[in-house]
Chain A
Amino acid sequence: MDFATLLQMLDATLRLATPLLLACLAGLYSERAGIFDIGLEGKMLAAAFMSAAIASVTGDVWLGLLAGIGASMLLSGIHGLASITFRGNQLISGVAINFLAAGLTVVIAQSWFKQGGRTPQLAGDARFNPIDLPFAEQLRDVPVFGTIYYELISGHTILVYVALLLVPTTWWVLYRTRFGLRLRAVGENPAAVDTAGVSVIGLRFAAVAICGVLCGIAGAYLATALQAGFTKDMSAGRGYIALAALIFAKWRPWYALYSCLLFGFLQAMALRSDVVENVIGFALNNQLLDVLPFILVVILTGFVGKAAGPKAGGQAYVKER
């Protein structure tokens, strides 16, 4: 494999890791606050549809992004209502949200656009287009560094950079701000947070809301940046892969980036099976590559190591038990 092909693979890795990373960080906020969220998939899907639908109607991708975030937040609101206000089972609520999104997106898409459950193809300003970073063109001919800068780092859509910047931001919020300390505390020991006079319910709703925003961006990225329009079930298990990445990362932001890049690389390998075959000498099975993230997580955090989530995860908080 030559240098150019390697850069192409890494470029694809970055593009494919972005939705995983956004969803993974979304889950990180929610689960660190003690709210399990297996509804990442559904929220991404709803956001993907809504962003593509609004972008195609208005021709403005930013309005689409806002609408996508709105759809995702709405589902987050349902999840919060069910699991925080009514102290219902968070896992069941997540399952319901996934099915709600899987069904409603197709039903509404069919009713609005009559194209068999998809939105029209997006083009021009209705999509997020690649942006060139400063000096990319000038540095292009500088050996190695310039090529890497031009081919790999520059030329992505803005959401890729947003996702990458969210990693240090999340680290800073979680470990260097009062809000982050409280957020982590509410996932470990909500009673202590309550005793300190801080609202457990308020904090958990805040976390679920942040989760909604990030899933919204992830979904919008799928439909308006990675692809040009919404198709049925286009999230294709990415919400679950993000969940696997979150466990792999043991609920820490920087490790979330590494595991999402790893899983993104596996997806890139599945896309470029010809390159993989050239390098290792035999063809890897694509089905295997698709589920390799899950197999890795089962083996490495199940059999070999251990990954225990926040202590109060999954339990509704009842004052004065």
Chain B
Amino acid sequence: MDVMPKWADVILIPVISIILAAILSALVILAIGENPWAALKLMVSGALGSTYGWGYTIYYATNFIFTGLAVAIAAQAKMFNIGGEGQALLGGLGVAIVCLYIPWPHWTVALIGAAAAAALFGAAWAAIPAFLQAKRGSHIVITTIMFNFIAAALLNFLLIGALKAPGMEPATSKFPEPAHLPSFQDMFNFGDTTFFRGAPANVTFFVALAACLFVWALVWRTRLGYEIRSFGESESAAKYAGISPTKIIMVTMLISGALAGMMAINNVQGEAERLVLNAAEGAGFIGIAVALMGRNHPFGVLLAALLFGFLYQGGAELALWTSIPRELIIVIQALVILFTGALDNMVRMPLERLFLAMRRA
């Protein structure tokens, strides 16, 4: 018997956790001598006050949807994939290679090709930690962390070496024109009124929405998804039911890595249109906060990704107009992870007691 109704578990606890995180963030802002209310207003107007702001918010959110889904699907099998950052970096490498070396006729085909390459590279980077977890008992968290570092070093190595474009900058050359994805500015241009002018949001956002739908259908509407969830609930029960742990660990991590890798079609192909150093910019780690907040459900991930997109764009505005540094966003991210993840029981236990008392009354 559940102690709490489902809505309390799905909505009430995350909301209370976020309020706690928000209060602490406000205290931090107060402590460094700024006004939290004014900061919030600035963030809202900067991130949501114009189609330009929305264009950035949606762009960031697109990144976080992919990395959030990556963490979420691994979490369905009770695995913690911290390697989203490295997988996204490798996805960028895949995108860069197919965009630079294959002459695409049209962006639609280029998008499909780049998405496939990004997914393949991301999945490949998740495959070794998954194998070591399934077969050799190495802890997947530790190996995926290490693979983040190895990925960053590999990309540094390639971007100052084999893939470097002529010039000073450690980056590839610009992708050819047909491989460029249409931005929201191109799509929502109605003659004299242009929305999202100058913002990096692009068609990848719709791919991200499709990915949400795909993960939902996979996890809750297919046999594989059922096996993944059973494995996550109880490894021994799943084994007894004839589900192979090796297969579930490998397949889940490959899908997870592929999702994280696909982030690269947004930031590498969609925005930068070339591969630069540290292209993922920590989005892989924000996926952890996004998945925790979204309760590992694709719809929750979508909402949480939009919230973090807002925080990211709002935080950039704060850094621009006040003395609050950008790193405040990292603090907020940490608090969200702390309260919705590690300190979940701190919120849950008193609530459960409350609901029990109400039931008895």
* A residues whose Cβ falls under 8 Å from a Cβ of B: 38, 78, 81-83, 86-93, 95-100, 102-104, 106-108, 110-111, 117, 237, 240, 243-244, 247, 285, 287-288, 290-291, 294-295, 297-298, 301-303, 306-309
With A82-B342, A102-B327 as contacts: A291 and B153 at CB distance below 8 Å? yes
B150 at the interface (CB under 8 A from A): yes
B138 at the interface (CB under 8 A from A): yes
Chain A nearest CB, measured from B117 CB (Å): 23
With A89-B342, A244-B146 as contacts: A110 and B337 at CB distance below 8 Å? no
As a 0/1 sequence over residues 117 to 132 of chain B, the CB contacts with chain A under 8 angstroms (1 = contact) are 0000000000010001
- Determine the chain A residues whose CB is within 8 A of the CB of B337 once the complex forms: 92, 95-96, 99
B194 at the interface (CB under 8 A from A): no
Some 16 contacts from A to B, beta carbons below 8 A apart, are A81-B346, A86-B349, A90-B342, A92-B341, A102-B334, A106-B327, A111-B31, A287-B154, A287-B156, A288-B153, A294-B150, A298-B132, A302-B132, A302-B136, A303-B132, A306-B137
Chain A nearest CB, measured from B81 CB (Å): 11
Neighbour of A96 across the interface among B82, B128, B139, B334, CB < 8 A: B334
Measured in the bound complex, the distance between the Cα atoms of B342 and A38 in whole Å is 13
Chain A nearest CB, measured from B47 CB (Å): 19
A240 touches B145 (CB 8 A): yes
B242 at the interface (CB under 8 A from A): no
- Determine the chain A residues whose CB is within 8 A of the CB of B138 once the complex forms: 298, 301-302, 306-307
Neighbour of B142 across the interface among A95, A99, A103, A247, CB < 8 A: A247
A107 touches B325 (CB 8 A): yes
B100 at the interface (CB under 8 A from A): no
B156 touches A88 (CB 8 A): no
- Determine the chain B residues whose CB is within 8 A of the CB of A78 once the complex forms: 338
Neighbour of B288 across the interface among A88, A95, A288, A309, CB < 8 A: A95
A103 touches B132 (CB 8 A): no
B341 touches A88 (CB 8 A): yes
B334 touches A100 (CB 8 A): yes
- Determine the chain B residues whose CB is within 8 A of the CB of A309 once the complex forms: 139
Chain B nearest CB, measured from A102 CB (Å): 5
A92 touches B153 (CB 8 A): no
B329 at the interface (CB under 8 A from A): yes
B149 touches A288 (CB 8 A): no
Measured in the bound complex, the distance between the Cα atoms of B323 and A117 in whole Å is 12
Tell me the B218-277 residues at the A interface (CB within 8 Å).
Answer: none
With A103-B333, A287-B153 as contacts: A86 and B145 at CB distance below 8 Å? no
Neighbour of A93 across the interface among B139, B143, B145, B342, CB < 8 A: B342
A96 touches B342 (CB 8 A): yes
Chain B nearest CB, measured from A311 CB (Å): 12
Which A residue's beta carbon lies closest to that of B346? A86
A107 touches B28 (CB 8 A): yes
B343 at the interface (CB under 8 A from A): yes
Can you list the 4 inter-chain pairs with the closest CB atoms, starting with the nearest? Answer: A103-B330, A93-B342, A99-B334, A103-B331
Tell me the B315-360 residues at the A interface (CB within 8 Å).
Answer: 323-325, 327-335, 337-338, 341-346, 349
B37 at the interface (CB under 8 A from A): no
- Determine the chain A residues whose CB is within 8 A of the CB of B142 once the complex forms: 38, 243-244, 247
Tell me the B139-182 residues at the A interface (CB within 8 Å).
Answer: 139, 141-143, 145-147, 149-150, 152-154, 156-157
Measured in the bound complex, the distance between the Cα atoms of B339 and A86 in whole Å is 11
Measured in the bound complex, the distance between the Cα atoms of B327 and A107 in whole Å is 6
- Determine the chain B residues whose CB is within 8 A of the CB of A104 once the complex forms: 28, 327, 331, 334
Measured in the bound complex, the distance between the Cα atoms of B94 and A269 in whole Å is 31
Seed contacts A89-B342, A111-B31, A244-B146; 10 additional CB < 8 Å A-B pairs = A86-B344, A88-B346, A91-B80, A92-B341, A100-B338, A240-B146, A291-B153, A294-B149, A302-B138, A303-B136
Residue of A87, A95, A309 most packed against chain B (CB within 10 A)? A95
Which A residue's beta carbon lies closest to that of B347? A86
Which A residue's beta carbon lies closest to that of B338? A96
Which A residue's beta carbon lies closest to that of B32? A111
- Determine the chain B residues whose CB is within 8 A of the CB of A102 once the complex forms: 327, 330, 334
- Determine the chain B residues whose CB is within 8 A of the CB of A97 once the complex forms: 334, 338
Which B residue's beta carbon lies closest to that of A110? B325
Tell me the B285-312 residues at the A interface (CB within 8 Å).
Answer: 285, 288, 292
- Determine the chain A residues whose CB is within 8 A of the CB of B128 once the complex forms: 298
Measured in the bound complex, the distance between the Cα atoms of B345 and A297 in whole Å is 34
- Determine the chain B residues whose CB is within 8 A of the CB of A81 once the complex forms: 343, 346
B33 at the interface (CB under 8 A from A): yes
- Determine the chain B residues whose CB is within 8 A of the CB of A237 once the complex forms: 149
